[in-house]
Structure 1
Amino acid sequence: MTRKPILASTAIALLLSAGAASADTWRYAFEEAMDEVQGKFAQKFKEEVEANSDHEIQLFPFGTLGESADIMEQAQSGILQFVDQSPGFTGALIPEAQVFFVPYLLPQDTATLASFFKNSKAINEMFPPLYAEQGLELLTMFPEGEVMMTTTEPVEGPADLDEVKFRVMTNPLLVESYKAFGATPTPLPWGEVYGALQTGIIQGQENPAFFIESTKMYEVTDYITRAGHNNFTTAVMANQEFYEGLSEEEQTMIDDAISVAFDYIIDYQDGLTEESLEKIKEAKPSMTITDLSEEERQPFMDTAESVEQEFLEIGGDQAQEILDQMKADLEAAASES
C-alpha cells in the first residue's frame, strides 16, 4: 500500500558504477509512479528525445532511487541528468519557490492555469536564476490538479481541523498554511503516509484526486474535502553542468521535447480529476466527497493574507518581487482565457 524505496541502494550503486560510460543514456527520476501525471510527462519527454536524437532516457519512478530528498541530491551531483520535483520539497532549498503554497493564489480554472504556467514571466524568467544557484537548470513547471484534503473526520471549516495531525511536505510555508487552517501540520516523507494514517499517527493529508486514487489513500481516510485552496505544482529540472555542456542543438532538442510534453500533460489531465473521484467512489462507496461552497470556503480564504505575509518573511530576497509578478502573470492569464 505504501511505496517504499526498497531498491534504492541497489539502483544508486548501479548508477554510480555506470558513471560516464553510458554517455548516450540520460537518467530522469520523478516523484510518482509511471502511470501517474509525472510519469506520463516523463514518458512523453523520453519519447520525444529518443525520436529526435541518439540518446536514450532511463526513467526512475518514485522509490527506485529513494525519497524526494535523495533524487534532488543525485540531480545536483550529476548522477541524474533530469529530475521532477515539487516546490514543496525544494522550498527549503529555494525559499522563493514556496510562493506556490500561498493558499488561494492559483486559480482553479484549468485554461487559466495552463496559460499561466506556459507564459508566466515569474516562472520562465525569474525562477531559472534561483534554480541555477543550486546547480539546476529549470526546464518547466506544470500543474498536476486541484489539491484536496483527505481526512478521517469530516471537514467543513477550520474548526474541524483543530488538533488534527495533518501530513504536509517538508515545506515551511505549507506548515504555516495548515497552522493557519487550524491543523497541526506534521511533515512526513511520502513513503510513511499510508501507514501513519492507518495507525492514527496522522489524521489527514492533501493531494490531487488522481494521486489519492492511485495510492489508495481513500482506504485509510473517509472524507475528501475540496476547499479549492491550491493546485499541485511540479518542476522539471536538469543538472546545470550537464545541460550547459550540451551543444546548442541538443539544448534546443531538449527544450522542444519539454514543450511537447507540457502540452501533452495539460491535455492528459482534462477530466482526470472527476474520473479519479468516480473511481474512488466506485472502490469505496462510503467515501464522502464534499465540495465546499463559497461561503464554507471563506474562513479558509481568510487565512490567505497571513500566509502571504509569512511568505514575504521567509521567502527569500526576491519574495515580494516574485509574488507581485506572479499576481500580474495570473491576471494576464485570466484575461486571456
Structure 2
Amino acid sequence: MSRMNKFRKLAGISAFAFAAMTAVNSANAANWRYAHEEYEGDVQDVYAYKFKEYIEENSDHTLQVFRFGELGESDDIMEQTQAGILNFVNQSPGFTGSLIPEAQIFFIPYLMPTDMETVVEFFRTSEAINEDFPELYADKGLELLKMYPEGEMVVTVDEPVTEPADFNNKKIRVMTNPLLSETYAAFGATPTPLPWGEVYGALQTNMIQGQENPIFWIESGGLYEVSPNLVFTKHGWFTTAMMANKSFYDGLSDEDKKLVQDAADFAFEEIIQHIDGLADESLAKIQEASDDVTVTRLSDEQIAAFKERAPQVEEKFIEMTGDTGEELLNQFKEDLEEVQGE
C-alpha cells in the first residue's frame, strides 16, 4: 500500500455505524473493544497488544483492537468510547484537550525534560499524572488507566530551522489543540490545525510547510518523504493516555477491575522497554531510506531563543483552564522538581 493510500485509509462504511451494529452492550461481555490512533507496530499498537495479551492470558475475556482508520480518526473513537460502543480508547492529550482543557499541559514547551530516564520516572511517580488527572477524566465519563510517553517531539520542515525567525511565514500543522497552536504562534509560525489523515498530502502539496511528531511516527508514516528536514528542538515529549468508558469500568467486578488495572500496568512496563532506543532506530531507518533528509539538533544557545517564548504559552494555559489548571501546573512542576532532584 502506498504512503498516500495509508494516510487516506478510512473504513469503507461509516465507522460509527459499523461500531454501533457490533457494539458490546453489556459491561460483562467476554469480548471487549479497544481503539487507538496509530498504525500496526507503532507505540500505541504495541501497548494495545500487550494489554490484550495480559487480559487474555489471565482471564476468559477477549479483546478486539482497532487501529487508526478502522473506526475513523481520533475524534470518532473518543465519541464511540463516551457512547459506550468502545470499552477502551488510547488518545493523546493533543486531541483530548478540547474535551479536557487541562490535558493541554503537555503542550507547554520546555516544561517536560527530554531525557528518557527522567521522563519515565516522572510518569511513574507524578501526583499530577496519577492522582489529579484521573479525577479530570472521570468528570468526562472516562476512567484514566495509564498515561505514558511515546517519544521526544521532532519538527519536520521544508528547510532547516535554527531560530524562531526561521518559522516566519511557515504553516505548521498542529493537532486540533488550542494550546499547541499557541506554542507554534509563540515560536513564530502560523499554526494550522489538520486531522491526521490530511497531513501527508498537505505537506506534499506545500499547503503546510511542517509538522511535529515523535521520530518513530515520522518514520512509520513516511513524513520525511515530503518534509525531509528534521529539527530536534527539545521542547517536549509526545504523551498519550489509555482510558476506559467509566460506566463500563464501574460496572466491572472487583476482580475484573484489578485485571484491567494490572493489564494497564503490565503494558506500561512493556512499552517503556519498547521505546528505549526506538528513536535512534527510527532515525537510522529514515537516513538509510532517504539522502534528502537533514538533521538539525539545536544547541543550548539556540534552544534558549525558543525557550524564552514558553512563558506566554504557560500564561495562555492558565487563562484557558483557570484555577484548576494553575493548581495542576504547580503540582506538575513540583513533581518534576522532585524527580530531577533525585
With the length of structure 1 as denominator, give the TM-score of the two structures.
0.97
What are the Cα deviations for residues 234-276 of structure 1, in whole angstroms up to 9, with x where unaligned?
Answer: 0001000000000011000110110010011011111111111
Match of 1:70 in 2: 76
CA RMSD of aligned residues (A): 1.2
Residue-pair matches, total: 336
Match of 2:238 in 1: 232
Match of 2:226 in 1: 220
Within a 5 Å distance, the mapping from 1:76-91 to structure 2 comes to 76-91=82-97
Q: Would the aligned equivalents of 2:24 and 2:31 in 1 still touch at CA under 8 Å?
A: no
Structure 1 counterpart of 2:94, one-letter code: G
Unpaired runs of at least 5, structure 2? none
Q: Would the aligned equivalents of 1:29 and 1:61 in 2 still touch at CA under 8 Å?
A: yes
Secondary structure at the aligned position of 2:176 is classed as coil
What are the Cα deviations for residues 197-220 of structure 1, in whole angstroms up to 9, with x where unaligned?
Answer: 000100000000000001000100
1:46 aligns with 2:59: no
Secondary structure at the aligned position of 2:86 is classed as coil
Q: Would the aligned equivalents of 1:5 and 1:66 in 2 still touch at CA under 8 Å?
A: no
Q: CA deviation at 1:144?
A: 0.5
Q: Supply the distance in 1 between the matched residues of 2:56 and 2:291 (Cα, whole angstroms).
A: 43
Structure 2 counterpart of 1:9, one-letter code: I
Structure 1 counterpart of 2:120, one-letter code: A
Match of 2:20 in 1: 16
Structure 2 counterpart of 1:212, one-letter code: I
Q: CA deviation at 1:18?
A: 2.5
Q: Supply the distance in 1 between the matched residues of 2:21 and 2:64 (Cα, whole angstroms).
A: 15
**Does 19-28 or 128-137 show the bigger shift?**
19-28
Unpaired runs of at least 5, structure 1? none
Q: Supply the distance in 2 between the matched residues of 1:221 and 1:49 (Cα, whole angstroms).
A: 40
Structure 2 counterpart of 1:322, one-letter code: L
Match of 2:301 in 1: 295
Q: CA deviation at 1:285?
A: 1.9
1:139 aligns with 2:145: yes
**Does 203-212 or 110-119 show the bigger shift?**
110-119
Q: Would the aligned equivalents of 2:23 and 2:86 in 1 still touch at CA under 8 Å?
A: no
Match of 2:135 among 104, 107, 129: 129
Q: Supply the distance in 1 between the matched residues of 2:322 and 2:16 (Cα, whole angstroms).
A: 33
Within a 5 Å distance, the mapping from 1:28-43 to structure 2 comes to 28-43=34-49
Q: Supply the distance in 2 between the matched residues of 1:295 and 1:189 (Cα, whole angstroms).
A: 34
Within a 5 Å distance, the mapping from 1:1-337 to structure 2 comes to 1-2=3-4, 3-7=7-11, 9-20=13-24, 23-336=29-342
Q: CA deviation at 1:21?
A: 6.7
Q: Would the aligned equivalents of 1:141 and 1:233 in 2 still touch at CA under 8 Å?
A: yes
Q: Would the aligned equivalents of 1:9 and 1:65 in 2 still touch at CA under 8 Å?
A: no
Structure 2 counterpart of 1:18, one-letter code: T
Structure 2 counterpart of 1:222, one-letter code: P
What are the Cα deviations for residues 106-141 of structure 1, in whole angstroms up to 9, with x where unaligned?
Answer: 111111111111111111111111111111000010
Structure 2 counterpart of 1:169, one-letter code: M
Q: CA deviation at 1:19?
A: 3.2
Q: Supply the distance in 2 between the matched residues of 1:233 and 1:315 (Cα, whole angstroms).
A: 19
Q: Would the aligned equivalents of 1:8 and 1:63 in 2 still touch at CA under 8 Å?
A: no
Q: Supply the distance in 1 between the matched residues of 2:188 and 2:285 (Cα, whole angstroms).
A: 30
Q: Supply the distance in 1 between the matched residues of 2:257 and 2:21 (Cα, whole angstroms).
A: 26
Q: Supply the distance in 2 between the matched residues of 1:19 and 1:100 (Cα, whole angstroms).
A: 33
What are the Cα deviations for residues 267-293 of structure 1, in whole angstroms up to 9, with x where unaligned?
Answer: 111111111111110001221011110
**Displaced runs of 4 or more, over 6 A:** none
**Identical columns (%):** 56
Q: CA deviation at 1:20?
A: 3.5
Q: Supply the distance in 1 between the matched residues of 2:194 and 2:323 (Cα, whole angstroms).
A: 28
Q: Supply the distance in 2 between the matched residues of 1:65 and 1:316 (Cα, whole angstroms).
A: 34
Q: Supply the distance in 1 between the matched residues of 2:228 and 2:49 (Cα, whole angstroms).
A: 33
What are the Cα deviations for residues 309-337 of structure 1, in whole angstroms up to 9, with x where unaligned?
Answer: 1111012441111000011111122233x
Secondary structure at the aligned position of 1:33 is classed as coil
Q: Would the aligned equivalents of 1:8 and 1:66 in 2 still touch at CA under 8 Å?
A: no
Q: Would the aligned equivalents of 2:19 and 2:71 in 1 still touch at CA under 8 Å?
A: no
Q: Supply the distance in 1 between the matched residues of 2:279 and 2:23 (Cα, whole angstroms).
A: 40
Q: Would the aligned equivalents of 2:121 and 2:339 in 1 still touch at CA under 8 Å?
A: yes
